[in-house]
A and B are shown apart, each in its own frame.
Chain A
Amino acid sequence: MAYTPQFYPGSTSVGINRRKHMSGNIEKLRDIPEADVVAIMGHRAPGADYASTHPPLKEMGEPDCPVRQLVAPTAGAAAGDRVRYSQWTDSMYFAPSIPYFRSYWGAINCRGCDPGTLSGRQIIEARERDIEKYTKQQYDSEMTDVALCSMRGCTVHGHSLRLEENGMQFDMLARTEMGKDGNVYAVKDQVGIPLDKKINLGKPMTEAEAKKRTTIFRFDGVPMGGKIGARKFDEAIEMTHHMWEYRSKWGYRPE
């Protein structure tokens, strides 16, 4: 019988969404042009050549290595691209994705990438043309809501702050703005340098839509442990208790 990864426990919408993010079985919601994604990332001008750190692998005369024979290089590695990044800040007010689940998505589904997970931001580094592909996948999919999530290379402050009155996540550098037409526009790149033109990212999710697609447990959405005086543990808690207990006991008695 073929093994089917389970990825994550629980039957709530949060558990289900977490499984979707981890498995990569995510819905595409929009199609932001590649050139616009590249402009927002800010590493190269759209249409410009890729900078490289070494010649294409085919020209390098690689050593006879069984691992190299087994593992095909990514497009970026084959071309010798430099390593670049995209970094996301996801609001705690029902943004669809959250740092660990962006990282799990990357680590499980994206070859040749290096995810890093913090509380207020989540970074993935990869060869340039690879990270451009991975970034577009995230931008276009249900992992991202354009009001509650944004790309921020620095000055990421905002994930835990109250939302602006128009429902946008706070951004000190105001890299995105809500247009009068109800669409969200990117006006600065990841590190806050103004873009040559505003980029239309489309309409944000409604609150109900964000709550439906979110991966965060919250008491006013799907709570992980019920509420004070009326505890009801999600399977995620039972799983965590199990892991913690075994880690603690086996640290005491390593066998």
Chain B
Amino acid sequence: MAVKHTKKLFIKALNKKFGKDFDLASQKTEYKRLGPEQNARKREFMEFAKKLEGKRGMTGYNPYVHAGGIPLGQRQLVPYKLSSTEYVVEGDDLHFVNNPAMQQMWDDIRRTIIVGLDMAHEVLQKRLGKEVTPETINNYLEILNHAMPGAAVVQEHMVETHPGLVDDCNVRVFTGDDALADEIDAQYLIDINKMFPAEQAEVLKAAIGKTSWQAVHIPTIVVRSCDGGTTSRWSAMQLSMTFIDAYNMCAGEAAVADLAYAAKHAAVLHMSDMLPARRARGPNNPGGLSFGYMADMVQTSRVKPQDPVYVSLNVVAAGAMLYDQIWLGSYMSGGVGFTQYATAAYTNDVLDDFCYYGVDYAVDKFGGFAKAPKTIDVAKELATEVTLYGIEQYEAFPTLLEDHFGGSQRAAVLAAASGITSSIASGHSQIGLAGWYLSMLLHKEAWGRLGFFGYDLQDQCGPTNVFSYQSDEGNPLELRGANYPNYAMNVGHQGEYAGITSAAHAGRMDAFAVSPLIKVTFANPGLVFDWANIRDCFGKGGAREFRAAGERSLVMPSV
């Protein structure tokens, strides 16, 4: 059977990394051991550290304390190309501390809460006999977009937040009811018809029906000072105060409690679930974020639905950054190693190449996306082919192997390509997950190595949970998340699982994976991060072209 994909997309990136005329296939090289001075970013770090020495009165960054005086850079310190973009940045630029776009992506999630409007309207209409009309809703939304950033309504002599510090805060509404949407002032509406392709819009509107929802994004600076658990509280307080103002209510009447209860509990959709005590995190923290929600937050599916690989890979990038770099790499652990693992999934067009190879193969064989039978044999054939293809690329291009120098990186990329291929081919995330685990076993058997210790449990025992119906271990992949048993420890997995989830739905051309509410909320044009172009936005952050919200410089002396 002919194999269509022969592009070897990663070669362009390898040429940018190693030099245009470099022999990418040679198994030997001269290591020049030029140290950190070979790299612009390391030079910048060293120069800055020197400036800080006098100011701090103590030592700080000094790469020469590394390994008894042998600093980083004994091999070539190569840059990274953000996959499918023209951005080439240094590895350091992809640590979330150095990349404001990455920080903003996470901030945009944790500062978001979805609150139903219908329950509050019922309280107003049925309990208080108030009239609710499009005019009152528009008036309410005007007041709310004053109050939600931290401004006063109803009360006298209140402190307020500086509008310049909270300008990213906004609340827009959406509904499946076109008639109601037409009556809402356009500035306060997430217009499903405008933001989504027609077919997706119809599906979303049908799923949402006549209900109406508020996409609340509280100020970034608030969640950076507090945490994701704050979002529902901050939002509920300002929502309740706004109802009092907009509908001329008594500030102390019992009905306010109903509105507050709806805003805090009854009509609320958090972005992620609260974690058990041993992980000690409230809702809207990354550990409780399901793969299905992650897939829905990413908006690539509405701007490039014809390319399900591209859609899935943007989800992988978002997930790898959030789950690996921020959740496992910072909340659960710390330091720098996790970034190195995670970037393999969204840089240098490697995963792209492996996925396009697999999906072309599947389309040739089965006649299109989501056309393959949803069987274990399909996962077996596709995961085997993709894994063997990927292994051969690493072997044929030693610079590619060197680029993914850790086994965890290679395992994540090979298994993700296998899983995404199986998902897109079958339109079923569980078939994708089966492909993931087979890839892990084949990889280990081929090279006698896989990732670090944890892969023994998560990946070698993992096939047993793919189709399990037992309550503590079986779940559709869409509903699993970072805290699913066995998933809570290993870098290079969770973002890829989110990608495999997305791939099944992208292959089917679905409008959403799990939640139409999440999908529409993150289509809000008022979000700071670019949710349709994840990798591009990370590149902007790395290239220092991205301006994040939550800045404090307005109220501080200039540097």
Interfacial residues, chain A to chain B (CB-CB below 8 A): 18, 92-93, 97-101, 116-120, 154-155, 157, 159-165, 167, 170, 172-173, 192-193, 215-220, 223-229, 231, 236-237, 239-241, 243-245, 247-252, 254
Contacts and interface: CB of A to CB of B under 8 A. Distances in A.
Given A100-B448, A161-B75, A119 B464 contact: no
Contacts of A216: 446-448
B321 to A, nearest CB: 22
Nearest to A188: B68
Given A161-B75, A220-B395, A251-B464, A119 B434 contact: no
A155 B67 contact: yes
Given A161-B402, A250-B464, A252-B467, A98 B447 contact: yes
B131 interface: no
B457 interface: no
A247 B380 CA distance: 13
Contacts of B401: 92, 160-161
B456 interface: yes
Contacts of B434: 248
Contacts of A245: 376, 380
A254 B474 CA distance: 12
Contacts of A252: 466-469
B476 interface: no
Nearest to A252: B467
Contacts of A228: 3, 388-389, 392
A95 B459 CA distance: 25
Q: Using C-beta atoms within 8 Å of the partner chain, give the interface range for chain B.
A: 35 or more
A173 B67 contact: yes
A160 B442 contact: no
Contact of B445 (A163, A223, A240, A248): A240
Closest 10 A/B residue pairs (Cβ): A119-B407, A98-B448, A251-B464, A252-B467, A247-B463, A225-B388, A100-B448, A248-B463, A172-B74, A119-B449
Contacts of B391: 219, 224
Interface stretch (B22-30, B179-187, B502-510, B551-559): B22-30
Given A172-B75, A228-B392, A251 B467 contact: yes
B16 interface: no
Contact of B407 (A120, A164, A215): A120
A251 B389 contact: no
Given A163-B27, A219-B395, A224 B388 contact: yes
Interface of B: 3, 26-31, 67-68, 70, 74-75, 376, 380, 384-385, 388-389, 391-392, 395-396, 398-399, 401-402, 404-408, 410-411, 434, 437-438, 441-442, 444-453, 456, 461, 463-470, 473
Interface centre among A101, A119, A159, A167, by most chain B C-beta atoms within 10 angstroms, is: A119
B398 A162 contact: yes
Nearest to B433: A248
Contact of B406 (A119, A173, A237, A254): A119
A228 B384 CA distance: 11
A215 B446 CA distance: 9
A225 B464 contact: no
B421 to A, nearest CB: 15
Contact of B27 (A100, A157, A162, A247): A162
Interface centre among B29, B406, B463, by most chain A C-beta atoms within 10 angstroms, is: B463
Nearest to A239: B445
B27 A93 contact: yes
A220 to B, nearest CB: 6
A241 B447 contact: no
A237 B441 CA distance: 9
B336 to A, nearest CB: 14
